[in-house]
Amino acid sequence: MKVKNSWHRPQIIVVTALIAVGIIIMVAIAVVQHKPLNQKYKYGIVLDAGSSHTSVYIYEWPAEKENNTGMVQQKHSCNVKGKGISSYSGTPHKAGESLKECMDEAKKTIPKHRHQETPVYLGATAGMRLLKMDDNTASEKVLKSVATSLQSYPFSYEGARIISGQEEGAFGWITVNYLSDNFRKASGTVGALDLGGASTQITFVSRQELESPDNSIDFRLYGNDYHLYTHSFLCYGKDQVLKLSLEKQIEPKLDMTDNIILEDPCFHPGYIVNKSFQSVFDSPCVKKINSFLGQQSFIHKGLGDWNKCHEAIKKVFNTTYCRYSRCSFNDIFQPPVEGRFGAFSAYFFVMNFLNLTTFNLEEAKKNLETYCTTSWDTLKQKHPKVKEKYLAEYCFSGTYIITLLEDGYRFTNETWENIDFIKKIGDSEAGWTLGYMLNLTNMIPAEAPDTPLLPYGGYVMLMLILSLLIFVFFILGYIFFRRPSGPTHKEII
């Protein structure tokens, strides 16, 4: 009997090719089916109305992943020209006008079809807190003015308000930990140190019992509980502390009848500038002194003596009284600092300018001592492009930062090493604004969102590898089974 194999070589090739095409089509369908639709981005705008200036931040995130940590990033930022909104207390309508250039820029940056759904928030910090204390009506007028201005844009206006010091600290902490992806990794968290013009915040996770409820915040984020210590020191931003320090030096001289010459160890030798008393006493942070014996101004003269400057600055911290087991200063409870810290805003501007970000505490002090003795003329020649106001104040500001961290918050030579002076993480600036927006848009869920088993890229790769394997096995199988092991494979007789 002659059994004829009904499968001939060309037929097998055609069937193999058909199976291969089938697998490819299957993979293609699966890939297209699961591909995120053309990446659509959403946007949010936050205005940081600080005491010294206002910045507009635009954030961006993929529309389908808004609950995944690490997805929101800063797309753009704009510095509003001029001073902070609290400086418009006498001419409130100008506060709103001042935002125009940056808000027009926001209109250009965000695609038009997204304008209507883009939330815009304004948060004002210590400058407005101080104005509210000084003149509540004026602060309301300023807020009304910025609110009206923001409402004239095609975005979704979500409010303009003064945020509390606690919020400022907590949202700064959320920002740095969100950007470092610490919530998803459930690794340790980093503390946040923010130094502004009028206030300063310290926030970190503490394992100790928090003795004062005002300094305690609990969060549940992505399925983890966080027990935070936070405090905001109003009047301890670097501009207000400079006023405080000048006031402390001026006060004993107020009964002098001659011109008041203030010899300041925190300013450079050769620095000599006439300043108005008004510029020092125009804040609720310093004592109101009504009579200057007919004088309007004083002479501010630099000495360039770091040690004396350090001693003078220590005096702005009251460490004589503490009603808790432990205080930072001014009778404010603080547990010992724990873990790593990100120090941003003026901590970064100042320490970065002074090249002190990589030194240990003792080296930083030594370098700063040398810097402070540099003459004012030499410095101006060396840094012709730096704003004179900033340049004049770096010795003071650097000394304040070291004193605040060491004598205020009690960082030691060892724990100093845990401080990272940072401006940005990735493309996003460190500050309270991102955390504020994440919170208000509910983008930081208490429980971790369900995530697919594999990310999209991994899924595509797996499908490709599997189909390739099937294909290779098929070919190998074909070659193996067609190989004759006795009579020819064509015919068995």
Ligand X SMILES: Nc1nc2c(ncn2[C@@H]2O[C@H](COP(=O)(O)OP(=O)(O)OP(=O)(O)O)[C@@H](O)[C@H]2O)c(=O)[nH]1
DSSP 41: E
Tokens representing residue 149 in the block: 């201005």
Q: Residue 219's beta-bridge partner residues?
A: 226
Figure out which of the listed residues 44, 45, 51, 236 binds ligand X, where binding follows CB under 6 A.
51
Least distance from ligand X to the Cβ atom of residue 353, Å: 6
* Of positions 45, 49, 50, 435, contacts Ca ion by CB under 5 A: 50
Q: Is 390 in the site for ligand X (CB under 6 A)?
A: yes
Q: Which is nearer to ligand X, 113 or 387 (CB)?
A: 387
List 433's β-bridge partners, or say none: none
Q: What is the 3-state secondary structure (H, E, C) of 53-108?
A: CEEEEEEEEEHHHCCCCCCCEEEEEEECCCCCHHHHCCCCHHHHHCCHHHHHHHHH
Residue closer to ligand X (CB basis): 317 or 324: 317
Please tell me the count of residues contacting Ca ion according to CB under 5 A.
2
329: left (phi over 0), alpha (psi -120 to 50) or beta: beta
CB atoms within 10 A of CB 415: 19
Instruction: Work out which of 139, 166, 249, 345 binds ligand X, going by CB under 6 A.
Output: 345
* Partner touching 199 among Ca ion, ligand X, none, CB below 5 to 8 Å by kind: ligand X
Catalytic one of 168, 247, 406, 429: 168
346 binds ligand X (CB under 6 A): yes
Distance separating alpha carbons of residues 45 and 427, to the nearest angstrom: 16
Give the residue with the Cβ less far from Ca ion, 50 or 335.
50
Measured CA angle at 201 (ends 388, 54), to 5 deg: 50
Cα 207 to Cα 94: distance, rounded to the nearest angstrom = 47
What dihedral angle (degrees, nearest 10) is formed by the CA atoms of 464, 470, 475, 479? 150
Residue nearest to Ca ion (CB): 196
Element (H, E) at 123: strand 119-124
Return the closest-CA partner of residue 285 out of 231, 315, 247. Answer: 247
- Map the footprint of ligand X across residues 210-239, applying CB under 6 A: 237-239
Subset of 70-109 contacting ligand X (CB under 6 A)? 84
Of 215 and 433, which has the nearer Cβ to ligand X? 433
For residue 447, which of 183, 178, 220 has the smallest C-alpha distance?
A: 220
Q: Is 168 noted as a catalytic residue in this protein?
A: yes
Question: What letter represents residue 441's amino acid?
Answer: T
Q: Using the rule CB under 6 A, is 127 a contact of ligand X?
A: yes
50 binds ligand X (CB under 6 A): yes
Please identify, using beta-carbon distances, which residue of 69 and 199 lies nearer to ligand X. Answer: 199
User: How many residues sit in the footprint of ligand X (CB under 6 A)?
Assistant: 20
Q: Work out how close the CB of 302 gets to ligand X at its nearest, in angstroms, rounded to a whole number.
A: 18
Nearer to ligand X, 85 or 260 (CB): 85
Most distant CA pair in the chain: distance in Å? Answer: 135
The 10 Å Cβ neighbour count of residue 428 is 20
Decide: is 52 part of the binding site for ligand X (CB under 6 A).
yes
* Calpha distance 226→447 (Å, rounded): 13
Please, what is the minimum distance in Å from the beta carbon of residue 229 to ligand X?
A: 19
CB of 351 to ligand X, least distance (A): 10
In angstroms, what is the minimal distance from the CB of 139 to ligand X? 13
DSSP secondary structure letter of residue 114: G
Residue 126 as a binder of ligand X (CB under 6 A): the answer is: yes
| Interaction residues for Ca ion, span 167-196 (CB under 5 A) | 196
Q: How far is the CB of 368 from ligand X (least distance, A)?
A: 15
Closest to 298 in 3D by CA, of 318, 310, 280, 285: 280
Residue pair 249/262 in contact (Cβ under 8 Å)? The answer is yes
Q: How far is the CB of 318 from ligand X (least distance, A)?
A: 20
Catalytic residue numbers?
A: 168
Under the rule (CB under 6 A), what is the footprint of ligand X?
Answer: 50-53, 84, 125-127, 196-199, 237-239, 345-346, 349, 353, 390
